[in-house]
Amino acid sequence: MVNGSLGDKILEFAVPLAFTGILQQVFNAADVAVVGRFVGKNAMAAVGSNAPIVGLMVNLFVGISLGANVVIARFTGQGNEKGVRKSVNTAVLVAVISGVLLTIIGWLVSRPLLELMSVPKQVMPMALAYLRMYLLGMPVILLYNFESAIFRSQGDTTTPLICLLAAGILNVILNLFFVIVVNMTADGVALATVISNVVSSSLMFVILCRSKSNIKIEIKELGINKHILSQMLKIGVPAGLQGMVFSFSNICIQSAVNSLGADIMAASSAAFNIEIFAYYIINAFGQASTTFIGQNSGAGKPDRCKRTLRLGLMQAFAVTVVISSLGILMAEPLLRIFNDDAIVLHYGKIRLMFILIPEVLNVIIELFSGTMRGFGYSLGPALISLLGICGTRLIWVFLVFDHHSTFAMLMTCYPISWAVTAVALIILYLIKKKKFYLSVKSTGNE
């Protein structure tokens, strides 16, 4: 990461990471497709209505895993082997403890959260069963995310992909088994997800324990280093809050979607499982920026930091335009995978148009946020997301949608909030740019 060409290495890093996100979504989409085909629209709506809640609960800790990624990448760039080992052991233990706490808290607030989102009575039993089953897997779900961050910090995005692929195939098989053979509903696909996450996190844990490199896990050395944890939290908590802001705003939007009925809930769920592919690709380039800039800032190489952002933007823009165009052109056959009801197809296509056409704005949001996190600055992007994403969407839902309650009017909040946030992040980067690169130069002169 700190020597030689950059463009090909960014792609080599981002492509497996994008496929990892896509595979995760394929397996999530399999949950929706299985219940949509074999149980019905209400079960499909139950699974879809939980997506923002799960995101809200998980994103804080996914952000902290990004903090671990940056800290380990910096120690790697500095050649600090002891720092790398302590960071790995801290990250693993934090993941497991956080997962247990999240399971307990999630069970306590699951019903109130679903009621707050106005989940219809006919959907509520399956939605609650799905969420509580899913929450049981939080320790292994968070462990997978932290282990992936450890591998990413070393430029390895292939190992998490392979482990996920093996677990994901099992997930699809178990989906069909629990729903068709055992006659479970939404809770069946949640159970399949939990089991598959046990497999993927266990595979990576074994690989880390057997590793010959600095990221090897030593069971007897597992512990939390307070100084390293504070560094992870300093970078990771704002990044996690940024993700939570997205999820919180999505909960508000999902609540508005729920008020429009089960058909639109099912349509929105199906469309989400298509449009999210583009986001995972964009996010992969954002994480590439975080990791490459983290290592190169640690190595004191400002020019490579600048080139990372420039090349990442060019590559992410190109790929996003292609993927978004394909999603729009193939909207109907893709939506039919989940449900072929005419109303579901109609509203699903409306959502895809409002999300995929302006998706390029997300490239700016992810790349500039990822770049600033790589420099160790997460608070600013998090605050801008709070105001730009969450603020704009809340204003739209409660002031505009409340008076014009159509699905198209609701979806308009996505491109508007993205545009506001993208412009604000560019301005923030330009203000902080000089300070970032001066700090990198001083690192290189030490």
Evaluate whether residue 149 is within a structural domain: yes
The verdict on residue 2 lying in a domain is no
pLDDT(254) > 60:
yes
Q: Is the pLDDT at 4 greater than 60, yes or no? A: yes
Predicted local confidence at residue 358, as pLDDT: 95
More confident residue, 132 or 51: 132
Number of domains composing the chain: 1
Whether 123 maps to a domain, the answer reads yes
Q: Give the pLDDT confidence score for residue 444 in this predicted structure.
A: 57
- Say if 136 falls within a structural domain: yes
Instruction: Tell me the H-state helices in 300-412.
Output: 302-329, 331-336, 342-356, 360-374, 379-385, 392-395, 407-411
Distance, CA of 107 to CA of 131 (rounded, Å): 8
Is pLDDT at 441 greater than 80 in this prediction? Answer: no
**Which pLDDT score, from 0 to 100, does residue 338 have?**
82
Model confidence at 323, pLDDT cuts 50, 70, 90, reads very high
CA distance 445 to 397: 51
Is pLDDT at 174 greater than 90 in this prediction?
Answer: yes
Read off the amino acid at residue 58: V
The answer as to whether 401 is a domain residue is yes
Q: Can you give the pLDDT at residue 49?
A: 76
Q: Establish if 1 belongs to a structural domain.
A: no
Q: Mean pLDDT across the stretch 18-42?
A: 78
pLDDT at 390 (0 to 100) = 85
Which of 48-62, 201-215, 339-353, 374-388 is predicted with the least confidence, judged by mean pLDDT? 48-62
Lowest mean pLDDT among 73-77, 391-395, 421-425, 428-432: 73-77
Residue with the larger pLDDT of the pair 407 and 119: 407
Which DSSP category does 398 fall into? I
Q: What is the pLDDT of residue 297?
A: 85
pLDDT tens digits, 11-20: 888 888 888 8
Residue 438 has pLDDT above 60, yes or no: yes
Residue 247, CB-side half-sphere exposure with 13 Å CA sphere = 21
pLDDT average, residue stretch 301-320 = 92
Please tell me the predicted confidence (pLDDT) of residue 152: 87
In a domain, 204, yes or no: yes
- Predicted local distance difference test score (pLDDT) of residue 445: 54
Residue 443's pLDDT is 64
> 348 lies in a domain?
yes
The pLDDT of residue 287 is above 90: no
Mean pLDDT confidence for 289-316: 89
Query: Residue 422 — pLDDT band, cuts 50, 70, 90?
Result: very high
The residue range of the domain holding 377 is 7-445
Instruction: Count other Cβ atoms within 10 Å, centred on residue 416.
Output: 17
Of the pLDDT bands very low, low, confident and very high (cuts 50, 70, 90), residue 93 is very high
What's the distance, Cα to Cα, between the start and end of the chain in Å? 20
pLDDT band at 446 (very low <50, low <70, confident <90, very high): low
Left if phi > 0, otherwise alpha if psi is -120 to 50, otherwise beta: which for 154? Answer: alpha
Mean pLDDT of the chain: 87
Share of the chain above pLDDT 70, in %: 99
pLDDT for residue 301: 86
Proportion of the chain above pLDDT 90, given as a percent: 37
- pLDDT value at position 296? 86
Q: What's the half-sphere exposure (Cβ side, CA atoms, 13 Å) at 344?
A: 24
> How big is the chain by its Cα radius of gyration, in Å?
21
